[in-house]
Amino acid sequence: MNRVPVPVEHPSAGDASESWPYDGERLARMLANEADMSFPRRADAVYDFLRIGPRHRVLDMGCGRGFYLKFTRELYPEADVVGVELDTPLLDRARSAVPGVRVLSADVRALPFADGAFDRIVFTEVIEHIADDAAALRELARVCAPGGVMALTTPNADYPLAWDPINRVLEVVGAQPIRTGLLSGIWANHERLYEPEQLARLAADSGWIVEEARAFTHYSMPFIHNLVYGLGKELLEAGALPPSMAAAADRFNTDGNEGSGLNPVRIGLRTLRAFDRLNDHRPPTFDQSYLITALKLRKPTETNA
């Protein structure tokens, strides 16, 4: 496995004996409607890192519309799952997507939880939006139990040209990236993007042990970020797609029903997966362009703090 170019500590035994077996095949079936070709890989890393168990208290920090909340609840129904989202308009969407789940609005820099309140933390595609990222990581370390694990994912600063050609060209010529609107691409509402070494050192300096690092997605369909998020997501949320296409694009549908093979959305998904298979044959290394960095972080115990 490729490793981030900073010291990575050997993983501790933790409480693996208390966790459920990780079912990657089931997760893949649940992701049948996912159009973001990088998402299945980072979701796989999140659950592989966390190894959630029946008595674990799980925090989904920056839960957004509730995607990880829904998946966590379905994969691990006996775990205690809580979602936190600062963007209040998204709270009702999360509650609707996952009925009965606890979701509240709070700032990651000042969470309303006791020290050590959670055993597992999902922190995916959030840190790049936060102005004071170090403060966020320190606060998450505070609410994580000693020996607990956090899965962190974020876009890589050296992302593939094909993923977002417009912003990549702007960066090369020294111009500011586009952060809002249809053409914002990978930089949409982001404070920064991270080099993997920078991210790992930030986590270590904020009280975490970096146990594992993974890099995902070097090969991609050109302009895919703009097509999926700038165009497709907006059409779906505006109700502008025909019902059959909207159903095929519904990422909250986790029953594995892919619909008709002639559905334009299904044809598009097959095309994206054909591109993505190149990443199976030639996984990216940390010294080349790739899209997502995923870190497994552990809160030190009293004996190794």
Residues 145-162, mean pLDDT to the nearest whole number: 97
pLDDT at residue 229, as a whole number: 83
For the chain, the domain total comes to 1
Residue 185 lies in a domain: no
pLDDT at 83: 96
Give the model's pLDDT for residue 34. 86
Residue-number span of the structural domain to which 27 is assigned: 16-160+190-220+282-298
pLDDT computed for residue 235 by the predictor: 79
In a domain, 256, yes or no: no
135 found inside a domain:
yes
71-121: pLDDT as tens digits: 999 899 888 999 999 988 888 889 988 888 999 999 999 999 999 999 999
pLDDT attached to residue 88: 85
Q: What are the pLDDT digits (tens) for 274-298?
A: 889 999 999 999 999 999 999 999 9
* Residue 303 within any structural domain of the chain: no
pLDDT at 268 over 90: no
Q: Is 230 a domain residue?
A: no
Q: What is the mean pLDDT of the chain?
A: 88
CATH number for position 294 = 3.40.50.150
pLDDT at 10: 43
In tens, the pLDDT along 22-81 reads 778 888 888 888 888 899 999 999 999 999 988 899 999 999 999 999 999 989 988 899
pLDDT of 14 strictly over 50: no
Assigned domain for 172 exists: no
Residue 215 belongs to a domain: yes
- Residue 76 domain-assigned (yes or no): yes
pLDDT of residue 255 exceeding 90: no
Q: Are 265 and 113 in contact (CB under 8 A)?
A: no
Rank 35-39, 124-128, 247-251 by mean pLDDT and report only the highest: 124-128
Strand 57-61 and strand 80-84: pairing?
parallel
Q: What is the pLDDT of residue 56?
A: 93
